[in-house]
Structure 1
Amino acid sequence: MTKDLAMIIKKYLEITKPGIILGNLISVISGFCLASQGSLDLSILILTLLGVSLIIASACVCNNYIDRDIDAIMDRTKNRVLAKGLISLRATLIYAALLGLAGIAILYFSVTMLTAVLASIGFIIYVLVYSLHMKRNSTYATLIGSISGSLPPVIGYCAISKYFDTGALILLTIFSLWQMPHSYAIAIFCFEDYRKAKIPVLPVVKGILVTKKYILLYILAFMFASMMLSFSGYAGYKYLSVSIGLSIWWFTIALSGYRKNVDDRLWARKLFLLSIITITCTSIMISIDFSSSVT
């Protein structure tokens, strides 16, 4: 492989946002394992992961395409491939279309129609509703975006259950609520970037103090939603103990944002990192501490 070809491949890989794909695949596995109840079908798991990966990659490419103007303004995104014009826009759209169609085809023909429908809904919400419109026009964009971000574990679950039930609804709720304080933390430590780009995130529109209050409320809601997975008989009590412990830790760190002379940026980064730890550990516990009482 020549150096030039390697650079081209790297650029096309970068615009799929591999880190986001990986994080979502962890949640897909958690939902899949929860529904499998210890009896894993590896071929279906691999096909589900592949299909979801391609669709998320397509959505991320579309997001890069749509946000290329504001990415060029923001310090943390100004070096992104499309913000610097390193790939043609026509090639980007073709690439996104091929990834998305391939992902939908894999889920539809090799997994279940329901997983393909859920993935399509997630794509539409993230690309057309969130990225193309609400992100630039409403503080509610974060809430809408959280719906698409919460679908991967549901897709993993429905790949086995083959229908949307209470377990799927609880997973949707847990992961939607988690994304709110996670996203608000990003908006606080990147406050100046969002302000410069005129993106109406909650800290810019309502202020950081108001955002801190919402963060506390969403963490509490996340904790109670997480508990419902055990109380409804889907997960065990080891999962419940870990979930409650993580939520209390997360809530405690959120409360520390009210201390005098706190550095909001450093506090928000700490909160963000803890949110990653929380959802990763939650996903792992969902995967390994399911309840055999659910059939």
Structure 2
Amino acid sequence: MSITADPTADAPQRGLSRIKDVVRAYVALTKPRIIEQLLVTTIPAMLLAQRGIPSPWLVLWTMVGGTLAAGSAGALNCVVDADIDAVMKRTSARPLVRHQVPVRNALVFGVVLGVLSCGFLWLTSNWVAAVLCVGAILFYVFVYTMWLKRRTSQNIVWGGIAGCMPVVIGWSAVTGDVGWPAFVLFGVIFFWTPPHSWALAMKFRDDYERAGVPMLPVVLPARQVSFRIVLYSWAMVLCGLLLVPATSWIYAVAAVVLGAWFLTAVHRLHNVYRGGEEGKPMKVFHLSNSYLCAVFVMVAVDSAVGLPITGWF
């Protein structure tokens, strides 16, 4: 007598697996890696605004609101750029390209996250943070994604403004306004974005060219791109030094050392391209992530334990 396996026995497991796949797809729409970077810059800005440790609840609520906002921008970006993502190898596994999420659902998901982020920040922090949050989402979607990205090689320069907003939002969540140190932090990220993005675009130049996106490495020779990377890197480091009056020797020393470290790397990359050889831009790309993280970590450490330089005299 043979025993036939029950075909429905594994149904609950298959159903659970499908649910997990759907959840993973929606999470992927929010671009979690970008969210991590935004949160790394927001918390130090809040500590600097407080010149100490803010309310843990305020930090948590701001992080939740910021995560919802960044997720909204990421999901809406995926909707608008679905055609580009399908052409580029680097983005060909995104949920809309693989038809894991219907486009309509992704659009609704992005809008709902945006509304929730605004309402949440309004209720848990203040209206200034909420309004800045909405502005960042709208700028990223309509100005960068829908207008600049496909039209100009300066797309990431001005489009990167949206990525600078978390520090301003974090500051305003603590103080209810925007102080000059928040604008300095904004400037650091603003000048950091082009070297970071152009280094990546140099590696995936063919991808961008195939997709019709005029990133700077697509329209200019590598030597000219690396020269611009050097210029923006210098602007980034010098902008970071403007924060010294609001910090202590801890940040001042770290800013100089980290700046010299990064500038050495970008000058080496430019020298390689200037000599007619093939450079390794991904080293600068990864180093830019480490640099930004280290600088903001030192802002946080300094804010928690350091005495402002203006208080030395």
TM range (shorter): over 0.9
The 1-side partners of 2:247 and 2:191 are apart by: 18
State the AA in 2 paired with 1:263. Answer: E
Which of 104, 107, 110 does residue 93 from structure 1 map onto? 107
2 CA distance for matches of 1:244 and 1:56? Answer: 31
CA contact (8 A) 1:195 1:204 kept: yes
The residue aligned with 2:38 is 24
Using the alignment, how far apart are the partners of 1:186 and 1:2 within structure 2? Answer: 37
Change (3 A) 1:205 1:25: same
Match of 2:125 in 1: 111
Residue in structure 1 matching 2:162, options 131, 142, 148: 148
Equivalent residue number for residue 253 of structure 2: 241
Secondary structure (helix, strand or coil) at the match of 1:124 reads helix
Could you tell me whether the CA contact under 8 Å between 2:81 and 2:145 is conserved in 1? yes
Q: Secondary structure at the match of 1:2?
A: helix
Aligned amino acid, residue 84 of structure 1: R
User: Which of 51, 54, 57 is residue 71 of structure 2 equivalent to?
Assistant: 57
1:250 aligned residue: 262
Q: Any unmatched runs of 5+ in structure 2?
A: 1-14
1:207/1:261 CA distance change after superposition, 3 Å: closer
Q: Separation in 1 of the partners of 2:190 and 2:307?
A: 25
The question of 1:274 aligning with 2:258 is answered no
> Could you tell me whether the CA contact under 8 Å between 1:125 and 1:144 is conserved in 2?
no
Residues 139-183 of structure 1, C-alpha deviations (whole Å, 9 max, x = no match): 121111211111111211111121112111111111111111111
Structure 1: how far apart are the matches of 2:92 and 2:199?
20
Could you list the runs of 5+ residues in structure 1 that have no partner in the other structure?
none
Aligned counterparts, 1:153-172, within 5 A? 153-172=167-186
Given the alignment of the two structures, is residue 204 of structure 1 paired with residue 218 of structure 2, yes or no?
Answer: yes
Deviations 1:242-289 (A, max 9, x none): 12212211111111122246433xx21000011001000011001110
Q: CA deviation at 1:192?
A: 0.8
CA-to-aligned-CA distance 1:11-47 (integer Å, 9 cap, x gap): 1111111111111101110101111111321111111
Deviating 4+ runs (over 2 angstroms): 259-264, 290-295
- CA drift of 1:238 comes to 1.5
Q: Which amino acid aligns with 1:237?
A: W
Q: How many residues align?
A: 291
Match of 2:18 in 1: 4
- Aligned twin of 1:192: 206
Pairwise CA distance, 1:292: 4.4
TM-score (ref. length: structure 2): 0.90
- Contact map agreement 1:226 1:240 (CA 8 A) in 2: no
What is the DSSP-based 3-state SS (H/G/I as helix, E as strand, rest coil) of the residue aligned with 1:150? helix
Contact kept, 8 Å, 1:177 with 1:219, in 2: the verdict is: yes
Match status 1:263 vs 2:278: yes
Q: Which amino acid letter does the alignment assign opposite residue 247 of structure 1? A: G
Q: Which amino acid aligns with 2:240?
A: S
